[in-house]
Amino acid sequence: MRTPCCEKMGLKKGPWTPEEDHILISFIQQYGHGNWRALPKQAGLLRCGKSCRLRWINYLRPDIKRGSFSKDEEETITKLHQLLGNRWSAIAAKLPGRTDNEIKNFWHTHLKKKLQRSSCSAATNTTPIMNSDTIYKHYSNGLLLSKYANIPMNSTTVQTMTQNISPDHHAMVVAPAVIQSLAISHADQHSAASSTAEMQPTKDHATWSASDVITRSLTDGKLSAIKSLSAMARYPTDDQSHLAHTMKENDNDIGGKKINEDIDFWYNLFVKSGEPSRPS
DNA sequence: AACCCGCCCAACCGCATCAAT
DNA sequence: AATTGATGCGGTTGGGCGGGT
């Protein structure tokens, strides 16, 4: 069984002292960090491996970029968050020298408030901003409509489908054509790549919301999620038991895909197309 | 000067996932 | 295929700090 970090008696918690930092840096410089679990004992630190790893990754690594975020970084984080949601490590991967923790903190303390202010002012102009949820919806809608329901994609069908899945005001935004077409071609790649691999469900499907399904379909490329969404959309409401049933059925014949490929796909897409567009 | 309050961020925790056996 | 250990990730916490009263 797993031993919770620092649960064992005698391990220190709380802020790191300069001495501890020095010991950790010296040890890693000399021996590397092959095994975090064993490291504190070998280095003579009264910390758990997890704590050492966190301290190194978030603070002591030599390539950490210190100081406030630049305007460019701020914009990148904002765009990537629209794109990826709270996938801090994926966002950090696009910002050299920044850690997921740092970006997460920056988001919660600065950007979120800033965006809330700007969305308030945007709301007064009645121009909805396309957020990540909306993008997920359009992406998934595009996939299921084009691949499983044989319905031609246009703004009306997208809107209707989205309303059936999750009737919030963001769903009224019309997807840009570039996202639709690229999403469909991406779906083709998914179905080709996933036809033979095996899928392991990792969450109790009965507890999935429509948003979970959509997010899932994006993050790991499992078309079963999209299939389920397709089936669900044929019903007037978000019927979770039906959804769970469909998920389990589909789990048996659909394969997986690497998360990073999806992240790269979306990142590249938005680099190409500028930014999540506002409907005119 | 003392107190309060909100903000910031380093660190922790629980869970998911991966890898080895 | 099941189990176990290690690592990674995202949400949350709490202590330090600065500004306001």
Q: Are residues A34 and A51 in the same domain?
A: yes
The total of structural domains in chain A comes to 2
Nearest residue, CA→C1' of C4: A1
Residue A260 CA distance to nucleotide C17 C1' (Å): 39
* pLDDT score for A251: 35
Residue A84 CA distance to nucleotide B12 C1' (Å): 25
Residue A263: which pLDDT band, with cuts at 50, 70 and 90?
low
Residue A9: which pLDDT band, with cuts at 50, 70 and 90?
low
* Per-residue CB contacts under 7 A with strand C, chain A residues 44-73: 49-50, 53
* pLDDT score for A134: 44
Q: DSSP readout, chain A?
A: -PPPTT-STT---SSPPHHHHHHHHHHHHHH--S-TTTHHHHHT-SS-HHHHHHHIIIII-TTPPPSPPPHHHHHHHHHHHHHHSS-HHHHHHTSTT--HHHHHHHIIIIIHHHHHHHHHHHHHTT-----HHHHHHHHHHHHHHHHTS-----HHHHHHHHHHH---GGGGSPPPHHHHHHHHHHHHHHHHHTSSS-----S-GGG--HHHHHHHHHHT--HHHHHHHHHHHTSSS--HHHHHHHHHHHHTT-----HHHHHHHHHHHHHHH-SPPPP-
* pLDDT score for A82: 86
Per-residue pLDDT tens digits for A72-91: 999 999 989 988 888 999 99
Q: Are residues A34 and A74 in the same domain?
A: no
Question: Is the C-beta of residue A251 closer than 7 Å to nucleic acid chain B?
Answer: no
Average pLDDT over residues A38-45: 90
Using the predicted structure, report yes or no on whether residue A51 has a pLDDT greater than 90: yes
* pLDDT score for A33: 85
Question: Is the C-beta of residue A120 closer than 7 Å to nucleic acid chain C?
Answer: no
Residue A214 lies in a domain: no
Using the predicted structure, report yes or no on whether residue A100 has a pLDDT greater than 60: yes
Per-residue pLDDT tens digits for A131-143: 444 444 444 444 4
Q: Are residues A57 and A83 in the same domain?
A: no
* Per-residue CB contacts under 7 A with strand B, chain A residues 45-74: 47, 50-51, 54-55, 58-59
Residue A56 lies in a domain: yes
* pLDDT score for A170: 31
Residue A186 CA distance to nucleotide C5 C1' (Å): 37
Residue A99: which pLDDT band, with cuts at 50, 70 and 90?
very high
Residue A147: which pLDDT band, with cuts at 50, 70 and 90?
very low
Using the predicted structure, report yes or no on whether residue A71 has a pLDDT greater than 60: yes
Residue A272: which pLDDT band, with cuts at 50, 70 and 90?
low
Per-residue pLDDT tens digits for A221-237: 433 333 333 333 333 23
Structural domain span for residue A87: 67-118
pTM of the predicted structure, to 2 decimals: 0.57
Residue A244 lies in a domain: no
Phi, psi (degrees; rounded to nearest 5) at A167: -80, 65
Write the CATH number for A113.
1.10.10.60
Question: Is the C-beta of residue A16 closer than 7 Å to nucleic acid chain B?
Answer: yes
Residue A175 CA distance to nucleotide B18 C1' (Å): 36
Using the predicted structure, report yes or no on whether residue A44 has a pLDDT greater than 50: yes
Question: Is the C-beta of residue A101 closer than 7 Å to nucleic acid chain C?
Answer: yes
- Choice between A192 and A273, residue whose per-residue pLDDT is larger: A273
* pLDDT score for A27: 92
* Per-residue CB contacts under 7 A with strand C, chain A residues 177-216: none
Residue A43 lies in a domain: yes
* pLDDT score for A186: 41
Task: Give the nucleotide with minimal C1' distance to the Cα of A1.
Answer: C4
- Choice between A57 and A247, residue whose per-residue pLDDT is larger: A57
Residue A280 lies in a domain: no
Using the predicted structure, report yes or no on whether residue A145 has a pLDDT greater than 60: no
Q: Are residues A58 and A76 in the same domain?
A: no
Nearest residue, CA→C1' of C8: A89
Residue A23 CA distance to nucleotide C17 C1' (Å): 27
